[in-house]
Structures are given as C-alpha cells and as structure tokens.
Amino acid sequence: MSLSLRATNWLNGLTAGTADADGWLAICPLADSAEAEVRAELARLGHATEDRGGLVCVRCPAALLLALRKAKAIAANRAECSERILARWPETKQLSASLGVYPAAECDACAEWIAANIAAENAAADLIDAAVTVAAVAAVTPAWPA
C-alpha cells in the first residue's frame, strides 16, 4: 500500500515529536484528512494508537522517549548558546574582532565570550548524553557565563 504524501509527512515527523510525561507521542490531529491512513499504517507496524487531547497518539518506548528528550534538550541548548553569543557579539562585530579591527582587549573579550558559551553548551551536552533517565535529562542546566 502506498501512503499519501500527507500521511507520510505525519509519520516521518514521528521521531521529531514530543512525548508527554506518560510516554505518549502525538502523531496527527484527529480531524486530519490522513488520520485513518496514519492509524492503519501504525497498526500495520504493530503500534496501537490512542486518542488524547484531540490527537492521534502512539505509545513511545522508553528508549525512544529518552533519545527524543536528549535531542530536544541538546538542540535547545545549542540554540540558546547561539542566541547568547549573538546578543553580545553580533556576526559583524565577531568578524571585525577576528580581523583585529577592535583593540586587542576587545578582540580577546569576543573570543573568550564565544569560547565560554560553547564550553557551557558542550558540558551540558555531555551530561545530557550521559543521562539514563528523562528526569536526569531535564535536570541538566547549562552553566552559562555571566
């Protein structure tokens, strides 16, 4: 059976989704035109679905749930790291500092700020990678520089 593009897109988003605290992963809205097709494909793959809050949901295995939470936490920290760096040193200022346009102390401050934020993000990513429970992932807070 060939799936419609809409059903395929919903199912491809499965591993990018967010599971709730009980381990249920939302797949698509109940009223979506591809709902029946999505349910049939999940059943064919051996996954029971449940209606939760207006969404077709599937139970997420603990290992997948942990992997999803790790990926989401690492991505959020990377985004925050970039935002923190750019808030203090926009790209044009970073470029000028790298070219030595500013005084040496200011160039050093730029490099140190970037390195400190990246180090904080990397340390948090290491802790997240080492976590063995969802709670341990949630407990990781990067030690951002002030």
pLDDT tens digits for 27-56? Answer: 777 777 777 887 787 787 777 788 877 777
Q: Do 55 and 67 fall within a single domain? A: no
Average pLDDT score, the chain: 84
- Domain-ending residue, one of 60, 76, 93: 60
Q: Do 28 and 75 fall within a single domain? A: no
Chain-centroid distance of CA 15 in Å reads 11
Q: Is the pLDDT score of 115 beyond 70?
A: yes
pLDDT band at 104 (very low <50, low <70, confident <90, very high): very high
Q: Do 127 and 68 fall within a single domain? A: yes
Write out the residue range of the structural domain in which residue 50 sits. Answer: 5-60
**Residue 15: predicted pLDDT:** 46
Cα–Cα distances (Å) from 131 to 22, 24, 103, 140, in that order, read 19, 21, 43, 9
The whole-number average pLDDT for the span 14-32 is: 66
Q: In this structure, is the dihedral angle defined by the CA atoms of residues 131, 134, 139 and 141, taken in order, positive or negative? A: positive
